[in-house]
Amino acid sequence: MQICVDQIAPLCKELSLVIEGQGTACDLIQSARHILPFTAGFAAVNRKGQQPVLLGDTYAAGPAKEAVQLYARSTYLLNPVYNAFLNGLPQGIYAMADLAPDNWRPAQDGPRVLPDQSEEIGYRTPGWPSGLQELSLVVDLPDGAMGEISFAHPAQKGGFSKDAASRLEPFLALYALAFRKLWSDHPLHNAPRQITPLRLADFAQDALTARESEVVQLILQGHSSLSISLTLGIALPTVKSHRKNAYTKLGISTQQQLFSAFLTWQAGANLP
Protein backbone atom coordinates (compact mmCIF):
# COMPACT_ATOMS: atom_id res chain seq x y z
CA MET A 1 0.00 0.00 0.00
CA GLN A 2 1.40 3.36 -1.06
CA ILE A 3 1.98 6.04 1.57
CA CYS A 4 0.37 9.40 0.80
CA VAL A 5 1.90 12.83 1.37
CA ASP A 6 -0.86 13.69 3.83
CA GLN A 7 0.28 10.73 5.94
CA ILE A 8 3.98 11.57 5.82
CA ALA A 9 3.72 15.22 6.86
CA PRO A 10 2.02 14.73 10.26
CA LEU A 11 4.24 11.75 11.06
CA CYS A 12 7.43 13.74 10.40
CA LYS A 13 6.08 16.74 12.32
CA GLU A 14 5.36 14.65 15.42
CA LEU A 15 8.75 12.93 15.24
CA SER A 16 10.44 16.32 14.84
CA LEU A 17 8.82 17.54 18.06
CA VAL A 18 10.23 14.53 19.92
CA ILE A 19 13.68 15.08 18.39
CA GLU A 20 13.54 18.72 19.51
CA GLY A 21 12.70 17.65 23.07
CA GLN A 22 9.07 18.75 22.92
CA GLY A 23 7.47 15.30 22.76
CA THR A 24 7.03 12.22 24.93
CA ALA A 25 7.43 8.48 24.44
CA CYS A 26 3.68 8.27 23.86
CA ASP A 27 4.03 10.86 21.09
CA LEU A 28 6.77 8.71 19.58
CA ILE A 29 4.51 5.66 19.59
CA GLN A 30 1.43 7.47 18.35
CA SER A 31 3.25 9.07 15.42
CA ALA A 32 3.15 5.72 13.61
CA ARG A 33 -0.65 5.76 13.51
CA HIS A 34 -0.50 7.84 10.32
CA ILE A 35 0.93 4.92 8.34
CA LEU A 36 0.37 1.85 10.56
CA PRO A 37 -2.95 0.61 11.99
CA PHE A 38 -2.35 -0.55 15.57
CA THR A 39 -4.24 -0.70 18.84
CA ALA A 40 -1.55 0.24 21.34
CA GLY A 41 2.17 0.04 21.94
CA PHE A 42 5.02 0.58 24.33
CA ALA A 43 8.49 2.08 24.04
CA ALA A 44 11.37 0.61 26.01
CA VAL A 45 15.15 0.65 26.19
CA ASN A 46 16.79 -2.77 26.34
CA ARG A 47 20.19 -3.04 28.03
CA LYS A 48 22.35 -6.11 28.40
CA GLY A 49 22.33 -7.51 31.92
CA GLN A 50 19.64 -5.14 33.15
CA GLN A 51 15.88 -4.87 33.16
CA PRO A 52 14.30 -2.93 30.28
CA VAL A 53 13.45 0.71 30.97
CA LEU A 54 9.89 1.51 29.97
CA LEU A 55 9.70 5.01 28.51
CA GLY A 56 5.95 4.95 28.01
CA ASP A 57 2.96 3.05 26.63
CA THR A 58 -0.43 3.78 25.13
CA TYR A 59 -2.37 0.95 26.77
CA ALA A 60 -5.49 1.91 28.71
CA ALA A 61 -5.28 1.78 32.50
CA GLY A 62 -5.99 -1.71 33.78
CA PRO A 63 -4.68 -5.25 33.23
CA ALA A 64 -2.94 -4.55 29.91
CA LYS A 65 -0.92 -1.63 31.29
CA GLU A 66 -0.04 -3.70 34.37
CA ALA A 67 1.06 -6.54 32.07
CA VAL A 68 3.56 -4.21 30.39
CA GLN A 69 5.05 -3.42 33.80
CA LEU A 70 5.17 -7.14 34.65
CA TYR A 71 7.00 -7.84 31.40
CA ALA A 72 9.70 -5.29 32.29
CA ARG A 73 10.12 -6.76 35.76
CA SER A 74 9.93 -10.45 35.04
CA THR A 75 9.25 -12.11 31.70
CA TYR A 76 11.56 -10.05 29.49
CA LEU A 77 14.38 -12.61 29.86
CA LEU A 78 12.30 -15.12 27.90
CA ASN A 79 11.06 -12.66 25.27
CA PRO A 80 12.15 -13.29 21.64
CA VAL A 81 12.93 -9.61 20.97
CA TYR A 82 15.06 -9.25 24.08
CA ASN A 83 16.96 -12.45 23.32
CA ALA A 84 17.45 -11.41 19.71
CA PHE A 85 18.89 -8.14 21.03
CA LEU A 86 21.37 -10.08 23.19
CA ASN A 87 22.41 -11.96 20.05
CA GLY A 88 23.07 -8.79 18.05
CA LEU A 89 19.72 -8.00 16.43
CA PRO A 90 20.33 -5.29 13.79
CA GLN A 91 18.31 -2.09 13.70
CA GLY A 92 15.07 -2.64 11.79
CA ILE A 93 11.42 -3.69 11.94
CA TYR A 94 10.50 -7.24 12.93
CA ALA A 95 7.37 -9.33 13.42
CA MET A 96 7.43 -11.03 16.80
CA ALA A 97 6.56 -14.36 15.19
CA ASP A 98 9.67 -14.16 12.99
CA LEU A 99 11.97 -13.81 16.01
CA ALA A 100 10.44 -16.58 18.12
CA PRO A 101 12.31 -19.93 18.31
CA ASP A 102 10.80 -23.04 16.78
CA ASN A 103 9.28 -24.43 19.98
CA TRP A 104 8.20 -21.32 21.88
CA ARG A 105 5.76 -22.71 24.48
CA PRO A 106 6.35 -21.35 28.02
CA ALA A 107 5.02 -22.91 31.19
CA GLN A 108 1.42 -23.97 31.52
CA ASP A 109 1.64 -23.80 35.29
CA GLY A 110 4.04 -20.84 35.62
CA PRO A 111 2.94 -17.92 37.80
CA ARG A 112 3.85 -15.20 35.30
CA VAL A 113 2.92 -16.54 31.88
CA LEU A 114 -0.27 -18.03 30.44
CA PRO A 115 -0.39 -20.54 27.57
CA ASP A 116 -2.36 -19.22 24.62
CA GLN A 117 -2.13 -20.94 21.26
CA SER A 118 -3.72 -17.93 19.55
CA GLU A 119 -0.60 -15.93 20.37
CA GLU A 120 2.30 -15.68 17.91
CA ILE A 121 4.72 -16.91 20.58
CA GLY A 122 2.37 -19.35 22.31
CA TYR A 123 1.95 -17.46 25.57
CA ARG A 124 0.97 -14.12 27.06
CA THR A 125 1.77 -12.30 30.26
CA PRO A 126 -1.22 -12.21 32.67
CA GLY A 127 -3.35 -9.18 31.88
CA TRP A 128 -2.10 -9.00 28.30
CA PRO A 129 -5.01 -8.91 25.81
CA SER A 130 -5.48 -12.16 23.94
CA GLY A 131 -4.99 -12.58 20.21
CA LEU A 132 -2.61 -9.70 19.48
CA GLN A 133 0.00 -9.64 16.74
CA GLU A 134 3.14 -7.67 17.57
CA LEU A 135 5.50 -5.68 15.39
CA SER A 136 8.73 -4.28 16.84
CA LEU A 137 10.69 -1.30 15.57
CA VAL A 138 14.18 -1.44 17.05
CA VAL A 139 16.97 1.14 16.87
CA ASP A 140 20.56 1.27 18.03
CA LEU A 141 21.30 3.45 21.05
CA PRO A 142 24.61 4.52 22.63
CA ASP A 143 26.53 2.12 24.89
CA GLY A 144 25.12 -0.99 23.24
CA ALA A 145 21.50 -0.35 24.22
CA MET A 146 18.54 -0.92 21.94
CA GLY A 147 15.39 1.17 21.68
CA GLU A 148 12.20 -0.75 20.96
CA ILE A 149 8.69 0.29 20.03
CA SER A 150 6.34 -2.68 20.24
CA PHE A 151 3.13 -2.17 18.29
CA ALA A 152 0.13 -4.46 18.87
CA HIS A 153 -2.95 -5.10 16.76
CA PRO A 154 -5.65 -7.80 17.10
CA ALA A 155 -5.31 -10.73 14.73
CA GLN A 156 -9.11 -10.71 14.33
CA LYS A 157 -8.81 -7.24 12.80
CA GLY A 158 -6.23 -8.46 10.33
CA GLY A 159 -3.13 -8.02 12.47
CA PHE A 160 -0.28 -6.43 10.54
CA SER A 161 -0.20 -6.56 6.77
CA LYS A 162 2.77 -7.98 4.88
CA ASP A 163 3.89 -4.47 3.93
CA ALA A 164 3.77 -3.10 7.49
CA ALA A 165 7.54 -3.22 7.92
CA SER A 166 8.18 -1.60 4.54
CA ARG A 167 5.84 1.27 5.47
CA LEU A 168 7.89 2.04 8.60
CA GLU A 169 11.33 1.40 7.08
CA PRO A 170 11.78 4.83 5.37
CA PHE A 171 11.30 6.57 8.72
CA LEU A 172 13.63 4.35 10.76
CA ALA A 173 16.40 6.99 10.92
CA LEU A 174 13.95 9.58 12.27
CA TYR A 175 12.68 7.14 14.88
CA ALA A 176 16.26 6.46 15.91
CA LEU A 177 16.95 10.18 16.40
CA ALA A 178 13.75 10.63 18.39
CA PHE A 179 14.51 7.60 20.55
CA ARG A 180 18.03 8.81 21.28
CA LYS A 181 16.66 12.17 22.43
CA LEU A 182 14.16 10.55 24.77
CA TRP A 183 16.80 8.21 26.20
CA SER A 184 19.44 10.92 26.63
CA ASP A 185 16.94 12.94 28.69
CA HIS A 186 15.83 9.99 30.81
CA PRO A 187 17.05 9.91 34.44
CA LEU A 188 18.20 6.28 34.13
CA HIS A 189 20.40 6.99 31.10
CA ASN A 190 23.45 7.81 33.20
CA ALA A 191 22.38 5.92 36.34
CA PRO A 192 24.92 3.52 37.90
CA ARG A 193 24.78 0.01 36.49
CA GLN A 194 23.20 -2.72 38.61
CA ILE A 195 25.82 -4.34 40.84
CA THR A 196 24.52 -7.87 40.26
CA PRO A 197 22.50 -7.90 37.05
CA LEU A 198 20.15 -10.86 36.60
CA ARG A 199 21.07 -13.17 33.72
CA LEU A 200 19.37 -16.20 32.26
CA ALA A 201 22.70 -18.03 32.61
CA ASP A 202 22.55 -17.59 36.40
CA PHE A 203 19.55 -19.88 36.71
CA ALA A 204 20.49 -23.16 38.47
CA GLN A 205 24.17 -22.66 37.67
CA ASP A 206 25.23 -24.26 40.96
CA ALA A 207 23.24 -27.42 40.22
CA LEU A 208 24.01 -27.99 36.54
CA THR A 209 27.07 -28.61 34.42
CA ALA A 210 28.00 -25.95 31.89
CA ARG A 211 26.50 -27.95 29.00
CA GLU A 212 23.32 -28.79 30.94
CA SER A 213 22.95 -25.09 31.70
CA GLU A 214 23.27 -24.22 28.00
CA VAL A 215 20.58 -26.74 27.12
CA VAL A 216 18.24 -25.44 29.84
CA GLN A 217 18.72 -21.85 28.70
CA LEU A 218 17.78 -22.76 25.14
CA ILE A 219 14.73 -24.71 26.34
CA LEU A 220 13.61 -21.66 28.31
CA GLN A 221 14.04 -19.50 25.21
CA GLY A 222 11.72 -21.81 23.28
CA HIS A 223 14.06 -24.08 21.31
CA SER A 224 13.14 -27.66 20.51
CA SER A 225 15.62 -30.48 21.07
CA LEU A 226 16.41 -30.48 17.34
CA SER A 227 17.05 -26.74 17.38
CA ILE A 228 19.31 -27.12 20.43
CA SER A 229 21.22 -29.87 18.63
CA LEU A 230 21.83 -27.60 15.65
CA THR A 231 22.61 -24.55 17.79
CA LEU A 232 25.17 -26.29 20.01
CA GLY A 233 26.51 -28.65 17.37
CA ILE A 234 25.82 -31.80 19.37
CA ALA A 235 23.87 -34.97 18.58
CA LEU A 236 20.15 -35.08 19.28
CA PRO A 237 20.49 -38.04 21.74
CA THR A 238 23.11 -35.99 23.63
CA VAL A 239 20.68 -33.09 23.93
CA LYS A 240 18.01 -35.41 25.31
CA SER A 241 20.50 -36.88 27.78
CA HIS A 242 21.54 -33.42 29.05
CA ARG A 243 17.89 -32.44 29.29
CA LYS A 244 17.01 -35.55 31.31
CA ASN A 245 19.98 -35.07 33.66
CA ALA A 246 19.14 -31.39 34.18
CA TYR A 247 15.52 -32.16 34.98
CA THR A 248 16.59 -34.81 37.48
CA LYS A 249 18.95 -32.39 39.25
CA LEU A 250 16.23 -29.73 39.39
CA GLY A 251 13.66 -32.17 40.73
CA ILE A 252 11.28 -31.71 37.79
CA SER A 253 9.97 -33.85 34.96
CA THR A 254 8.31 -31.50 32.46
CA GLN A 255 9.07 -28.36 30.50
CA GLN A 256 6.16 -26.65 32.23
CA GLN A 257 7.78 -27.34 35.61
CA LEU A 258 11.06 -25.96 34.27
CA PHE A 259 9.44 -22.62 33.40
CA SER A 260 7.73 -22.54 36.77
CA ALA A 261 11.05 -23.17 38.54
CA PHE A 262 12.77 -20.46 36.50
CA LEU A 263 10.10 -17.84 37.22
CA THR A 264 10.07 -18.71 40.92
CA TRP A 265 13.87 -18.31 41.01
CA GLN A 266 13.64 -15.03 39.12
CA ALA A 267 11.04 -13.62 41.49
CA GLY A 268 13.28 -14.44 44.46
CA ALA A 269 16.38 -13.04 42.74
CA ASN A 270 14.60 -9.73 42.13
CA LEU A 271 13.75 -9.24 45.80
CA PRO A 272 15.76 -6.50 47.58
* Mean pLDDT, all residues of the chain: 84
User: Which is it for the CA torsion 16, 86, 42, 119, positive or negative?
Assistant: positive
Q: What is the pLDDT of residues 132-171, one digit of tens each?
A: 889 999 999 999 999 999 999 988 888 898 888 899 999 9
Torsion over CA: 185, 68, 213, 207 (sign): positive
Q: Which residues contact 189 (CB under 8 A, 6 or more apart)?
A: 183
**Separation of alpha carbons 133 and 7, rounded Å:** 23
Mean per-residue pLDDT, 30-53: 92
Neighbouring CB atoms inside 10 A of 198's CB total 17
Distance CA 246, CA 213 (A): 8
Q: Which domains does the chain have, with CATH numbers?
A: 5-184 (3.30.450.80), 200-269 (1.10.10.10)
Q: What angle do CA 78, 147, 190 make, to 5 degrees?
A: 105
Identify the sign of the CA torsion 47, 40, 130, 91: negative
8 A C-beta contact, residue 167 and residue 35: yes
pLDDT exceeds cutoff 80 at 106: no
What is the structure's pLDDT at 151?
96
Do 18 and 182 contact (CB within 8 A), yes or no? yes
Please compute the mean of the pLDDT values over residues 233-247 and round it to a whole number: 95
* Pairing of the two strands 123-124 and 114-115: antiparallel
Closest CA to 266 of 193, 202, 196: 202
Taking the model in full, what pTM does it have? 0.75
- The yes-or-no verdict on residue 260 having pLDDT over 90 is no
Q: What is the pLDDT of residues 21-36, one digit of tens each?
A: 999 999 999 999 999 9
Is residue 270 classed exposed, middle or buried when 0-12, 13-18 and 19+ CB atoms within 10 A define those classes?
exposed
